C-alpha cells in the first residue's frame, strides 16, 4: 500500500520504517526541515535499537523516503497516519494544535478517498474533530480511524513488529478492511486485531497508560511505607507479583515514571474525566504520588550529608529510561533540579542522552565523558536510570574516586548488603 506518515518522531519514524519493511511504499513527512534533511543524509535523529539499519535498508530499496511536502504525500498516499506530538497543554489537557493542523493540511490536499489514521495519543472525540476539519475542506470522502500506538521506547521496533494487540477504532467497513490488511503481517502469530468504536479506541490508549502508571505509583507508595516500617519492598513485590491475578510486570519501585507518555497522558486523562463531569480519583492519586516520588531521594541525600550546599553529587543516567535518548519528563532531571536548588553541584553521565541533556541543562551541570568521571570527588552518587552498563560497575574504583562513598540507588539495582560491606552508605527505595 502507499502510506504517508506525518510526524517523524519516536513513533512516526518507527511506524513508517516498519510499514516499509513489510513492502509498503512509505513517505515520512515532518515540518522540521533539519530533521528531514538529516534523515535524507542517512542520519537518524533519535536513538532506538535496530532502527538505523532498518531505515537504511528500506531507503536503499526505495520503499522509504522523507519529505517536508505534506500535500504531495497526501496526494500520493491511500492511508495517512498522523503521528505528531500531543504535548501537555497549559491546563494539563493534550494540546491538539499539531494534530488539527495536519488534518487541515490533509483536507486541503485531498484528491480522492483517503483513510486518515490517528496514531497520536488523543482525547476521546478527536477522530470526529479531525473528520470535521477535513470534510469542511474537501468533497472527497474520508474515513478517520483511531489506531493508538503501544510501542515502548527502547524496544519500539520489536513492539511494532510484534504487537500484543492492534486496536482499531472505526465505523467505516472499507477502512477496517484496509487496516486489517495493513496489519496482517504483524499479527501472523495470532495476536488479536481489536476493532471497536472510535471513542473506545481513543480511551483504550489513555486507560492502558494510566493502568501501567498506577501499578508504578502504587508500588512506589508501598516502597515508601516499607522505608517507614522496616519492610523490604523487593520481598513484598515478589510476594504479590507471583499471584497470577496480579502478575509481576510494572511493579518495580524507584524514583517514578517519566517519558513523553505516562506523565502527560495521565494528566490528559484527568482532564477528559473532568470534562465529562467525572473526576478520576485513582488517576489523580497516581499523578500526585509520582510527582513526589521523583525527588524522594533528595531530602535523604541532604540529611545524610548534613546539607547539600557546596556538596558534589554524581548522577548516573539521565534518559527517562534505559535504551533511549529521550529526556522528556525524566525523573533524573527533577532530581538534578532539586539538587541544584539546594546548592549542590552535579556531575552527570548518560550513555546516550548527553546531547539532549546539554540542550536542557546547559552549563548548570558538569557533563562527564565516562561514567566513572561522574563519581570523581562526589559526596554522593545517584543512580537515576538503570542502563545495563551501570549494573555491575567496579565499586572499588568508585569508592576511591568519591570524596564520600554514598550511593543512592533510585532504581533498586544494587545489592545493599554488598555495598555496605564495602564501606558505602547505601540507600534504595523501600529496601532494607
- Which C-beta is closer to ligand NAD: that of 5 or that of 348? 5
The span from the CA of 389 to the CA of 398, in Å, is 14
Question: Contact positions toward ligand NAD, by CB under 6 A?
Answer: 6-12, 29-32, 35, 83-86, 98, 101-102, 120-121, 149, 151, 153, 260-261
In the complex with ligand NAD, the residue whose CB is nearer, 151 or 375, is 151
Question: Which residue(s) pair with 142 in the sheet?
Answer: 114
Question: Between residues 256 and 430, which has the closer beta carbon with respect to ligand NAD?
Answer: 256
Closest CB 236 distance from ligand NAD, rounded Å: 29
For residues 408 and 402, give the distance between their C-alpha atoms in angstroms, rounded to a whole number: 13
Shortest spacing between CB 20 and ligand NAD, in angstroms: 17
Q: Which residues contact 171 (CB under 8 A, 6 or more apart)?
A: 197, 198
Least distance between ligand NAD and beta carbon 123 (Å): 11
- 170 closest CA partner among 140, 192, 200, 191: 200
The question of whether 261 is a catalytic residue gets the answer yes
Polymer length in residues for the chain: 432
C-alpha cell at 245: 491475578
19 vs 315, beta carbon nearer ligand NAD: 19
Q: Which of 18, 28, 226, 261 is catalytic?
A: 261
Q: Give the C-alpha distances (Å, rounded to integers) separating 377 from 256, 296, 373, 400, 420.
A: 27, 23, 9, 9, 19
Q: Which is nearer to ligand NAD, 70 or 361 (CB)?
A: 70
Question: Which one, 32 or 172, has the nearer CB to ligand NAD?
Answer: 32
Q: How far is the CB of 120 from ligand NAD (least distance, A)?
A: 3
DSSP reduced 3-state for 150: coil
Task: Read off the C-alpha cell for 385.
Answer: 536510570
CA atoms within 13 Å, Cβ hemisphere of 81: 33
**Cα separation, 215 vs 150, whole angstroms:** 17
Other Cβ atoms less than 10 A from the Cβ of 53: the count is 12
- Shortest reach from residue 153's CB to ligand NAD, in Å: 4
- Measured from each CB, the residue nearest to ligand NAD is 9
Identity of the residue, 85 or 254, whose beta carbon is nearer to ligand NAD in the bound complex: 85
Q: How far is the CB of 9 from ligand NAD (least distance, A)?
A: 2
For 212-280, the DSSP string reads: HHHHHHHHHHHHHHHHHHT--HHHHHHHHHTSTTT-STT---SS---SSSHHHHHHHHHHHHHHTT---
- State the minimum distance, in angstroms, from the CB of residue 87 to ligand NAD: 8
**Closest of 244, 388, 208 to residue 316, by C-alpha:** 388
Cα distance between residue 68 and residue 384, in whole Å: 37
- Going by C-beta distance under 8 Å and a sequence separation of 6 or more, which residues neighbour residue 69? 29
Is residue 283 within 8 A of residue 209, CB to CB? The reply is: no
**Catalytically active residues, by annotation:** 261
Amino acid at each position: 500500500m502507499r502510506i504517508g506518515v506525518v510526524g517523524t518522531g519516536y513513533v512516526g519514524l518507527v511506524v513508517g520504517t516498519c510499514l516499509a519493511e513489510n513492502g509498503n511504499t512509505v513517505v515520512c513527512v515532518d515540518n522540521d526541515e533539519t530533521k528531514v534533511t538529516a534523515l535524507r543524509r542517512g542520519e537518524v535523529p533519535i536513538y532506538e535499537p535496530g532502527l538505523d539499519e532498518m531505515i537504511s535498508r528500506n531507503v536503499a530499496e526505495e520503499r522509504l523516503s522523507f519529505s517536508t511536502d505534506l500535500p504531495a504525500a497526501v496526494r500520493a498516499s491511500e492511508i495517512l497516519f498522523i503521528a505528531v506530538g500531543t504535548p501537555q497543554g497549559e491546563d494539563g489537557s493534550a494540546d491538539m494544535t499539531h494534530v488539527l493542523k495536519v488534518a487541515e493540511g490533509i483536507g486541503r490536499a485531498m484528491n480522492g478517498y483517503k483513510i486518515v489514521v490517528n496514531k497520536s495519543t488523543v482525547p476521546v472525540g478527536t477522530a470526529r474533530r479531525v473528520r470535521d476539519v477535513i470534510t469542511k475542506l474537501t468533497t472527497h470522502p474520508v474515513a478517520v480511524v483511531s489506531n493508538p500506538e503501544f510501542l515502548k521506547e527502547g524496544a519500539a521496533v520489536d513492539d511494532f513488529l510484534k504487537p500484543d494487540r492492534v486496536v482499531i477504532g472505526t465505523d467505516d467497513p472499507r477502512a477496517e478492511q484496509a487496516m486489517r490488511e495493513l496489519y496482517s503481517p504483524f499479527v501472523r502469530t495470532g495476536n488479536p486485531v481489536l476493532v471497536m468504536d472510535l471513542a473506545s479506541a481513543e480511551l483504550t490508549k489513555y486507560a492502558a497508560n494510566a493502568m501501567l502508571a498506577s501499578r508504578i505509583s502504587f508500588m512506589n507508595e508501598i516502597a515508601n511505607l516499607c522505608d517507614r516500617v522496616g519492610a523490604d519492598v523487593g520481598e513484598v513485590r515478589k510476594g504479590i507479583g507471583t499471584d497470577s491475578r496480579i502478575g509481576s510486570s510494572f511493579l518495580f519501585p524507584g524514583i517514578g515514571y517519566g517519558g513523553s507518555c505516562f506523565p502527560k497522558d495521565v494528566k490528559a486523562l484527568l482532564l477528559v474525566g473532568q470534562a465529562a463531569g467525572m473526576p478520576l480519583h485513582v488517576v489523580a492519586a497516581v499523578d500526585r504520588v509520582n510527582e513526589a516520588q521523583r525527588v524522594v531521594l533528595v531530602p535523604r541525600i541532604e540529611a545524610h550529608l548534613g546539607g547539600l550546599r557546596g556538596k558534589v553529587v554524581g548522577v548516573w543516567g539521565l534518559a527517562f529510561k534505559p535504551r533511549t535518548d529521550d529526556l522528556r519528563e525524566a525523573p533524573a532531571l527533577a532530581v538534578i533540579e532539586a539538587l541544584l536548588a539546594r546548592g549542590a553541584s552535579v556531575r552527570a553521565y548518560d550513555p546516550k542522552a548527553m546531547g539532549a541533556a546539554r540542550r536542557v541543562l546547559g552549563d548548570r551541570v558538569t557533563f562527564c565523558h565516562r561514567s566513572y568521571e561522574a563519581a570523581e570527588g562526589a559526596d554522593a552518587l545517584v543512580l537515576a536510570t538503570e542502563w545495563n552498563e551501570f549494573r555491575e560497575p567496579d565499586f572499588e574504583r568508585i569508592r576511591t574516586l568519591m570524596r564520600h562513598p554514598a550511593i543512592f540507588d533510585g532504581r533498586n539495582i544494587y545489592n545493599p548488603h554488598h555495598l555496605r560491606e564495602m564501606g558505602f552508605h547505601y540507600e534504595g527505595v523501600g529496601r532494607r
